[in-house]
């Protein structure tokens, strides 16, 4: 394990994750991390350059990781995991491996499942190709699940930090102070003043719509200028930003154990949070430097 670089708010470690979590130097972070946000390698049937396990081996690996990460999480901290979908090899049938891995992850460390989110990627290419674009017997798979869990039923969280702009209709309602109140067919009784309070925004749903369609950015420019191939599975900044705002406060500590191109570190730094990232691939780490204006030696 070694420190690849530091910024004003964060540190990027280069090394094998399991060895990093077991190292004496990293032990100082035990119980100090407020949010662990990551997207582990998916249990895909076809091997990717960034690595992925399969079958029971994947489940066992993720379960072991759950136990090790728990030691580093603060008592009111959260873990947020993006879990992609996978398909049975050679068949137009979805695999249940990701779900089995999730349940095993929860049970291995006795986490509480706080809420399920869906990331709808509007720019995702049609897949799985064999069944969607060739034989035309499935529709494209354009979402992944994001699972929020913690040690306790009441981790730190505040949805006031992620309010969305009111719709035009809601703005008009607040202005006119009038709407159709009364009992609905659903048997809900809407009071005459139930929706007249201006809360400065609407509470978002658990469906996050975001596309990673950025063609120009400091990160991509840096990679091009330095002959670095960009990370093949980057996520949009919107995802880590949403959960960092929702589940942490300024100067809290955020960890991405699969740092990759360090989208999480960039989001944390921009929101005045401290961050740690771990990545085994040195090329990914080198490219991630393009996300920061000031790198400390």
Residue by residue, pLDDT tens for the chain (297 residues) are 899 999 999 999 999 999 999 999 999 999 999 999 999 886 544 444 434 566 788 899 999 999 999 999 999 999 999 988 888 888 999 988 889 999 999 999 999 999 999 999 988 888 889 999 999 999 998 999 999 999 999 999 999 999 999 999 999 999 988 888 888 888 788 888 878 889 999 999 999 999 877 778 899 999 999 999 999 888 899 999 999 999 999 999 999 999 999 999 999 999 999 999 999 999 999 999 999 999 986
Matching residue, tokens 């120009």: 216
Distance CA 148, CA 45 (A): 26
Residue 254: burial class (beta carbons within 10 Å; 0-12, 13-18, 19+): buried
Per-domain boundaries in the chain: 2-164+203-291, 165-202
Q: Output the six-digit token pair for 289.
A: 């430097």
SS3 content of the chain, % helix, strand, coil (to 5): 30, 20, 45
Rounded to 5°, the CA angle 150-267-231 comes to 100
For Cα atoms 27, 33, 37, give the angle at the middle one, nearest 5 degrees. 115
pLDDT of residue 43: 59
Query: Of 40, 111, 106, nearest to 257 (Cα)?
Result: 40
CATH number of 2-164+203-291: 3.40.50.150
Query: Residue 48: what pLDDT?
Result: 44
What pLDDT score was predicted for residue 213? 78
Q: What local confidence, expressed as pLDDT, does residue 195 receive?
A: 83
Partners of 118 in beta bridges: 145, 207
* Entry field: residues in the chain: 297
**pLDDT at position 241:** 97
- For residue 188, the Cα-to-chain-centroid distance in whole angstroms is 34
pLDDT at 42: 66
Q: Is 233 exposed, middle or buried, given 0-12, 13-18 or 19+ CB atoms closer than 10 A? A: middle
Alpha carbon distance 25, 23 (integer Å): 5
How many helices (H) and strands (E) the chain has is answered by 9, 11
d(CA 268, CA 87): 33
pTM: 0.91
In angstroms, the Cα distances linking 216 to 96, 162, 212, 266, 271 are: 37, 26, 11, 16, 21
Strand order in the sheet with 274-279: 2-6, 10-14, 274-279, 253-256, 33-38, 73-83, 143-150, 112-120, 207-209
**pLDDT at res. 87:** 84
């Amino acid at each position: 394990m070694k420190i690849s670089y530091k910024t004003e708010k964060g540190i990027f470690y280069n090394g094998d994750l399991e060895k990093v979590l077991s190292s004496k130097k990293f032990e100082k972070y035990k119980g100090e991390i407020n949010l662990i946000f990551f997207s582990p390698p998916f249990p895909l049937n076809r091997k990717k350059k960034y690595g992925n396990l399969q079958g029971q081996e994947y489940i066992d690996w993720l379960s072991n990781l759950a136990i090790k990460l728990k030691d580093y999480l603060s008592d009111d901290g959260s873990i947020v995991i993006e879990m992609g979908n996978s398909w049975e090899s050679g068949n137009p049938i979805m695999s249940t491996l990701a779900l089995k891995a999730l349940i095993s992850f929860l049970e291995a460390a006795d986490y509480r499942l706080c809420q399920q989110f869906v990331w709808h990627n509007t720019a995702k290419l049609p897949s799985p190709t064999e069944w969607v674009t060739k034989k035309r017997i499935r529709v494209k798979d354009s979402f992944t699940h994001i699972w929020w869990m913690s040690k306790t039923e009441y981790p730190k969280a505040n949805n006031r930090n992620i309010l969305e702009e009111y719709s035009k209709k809601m703005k008009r309602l607040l202005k006119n102070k009038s709407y159709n109140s009364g009992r609905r067919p659903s048997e809900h009784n809407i009071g005459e003043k139930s929706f007249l309070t201006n809360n400065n925004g609407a509470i978002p749903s658990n469906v996050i719509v975001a596309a990673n369609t950025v063609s120009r950015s400091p990160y991509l420019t840096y990679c091009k200028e330095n002959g670095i191939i960009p990370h093949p599975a980057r996520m949009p900044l919107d995802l880590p930003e949403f959960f960092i705002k929702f589940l942490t406060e300024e100067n809290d500590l955020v960890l991405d154990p699969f740092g990759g191109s360090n989208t999480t570190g960039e989001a944390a730094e921009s929101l005045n949070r401290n961050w740690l990232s771990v990545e085994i691939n040195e090329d990914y780490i080198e490219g991630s430097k393009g996300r920061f204006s000031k790198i400390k030696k």
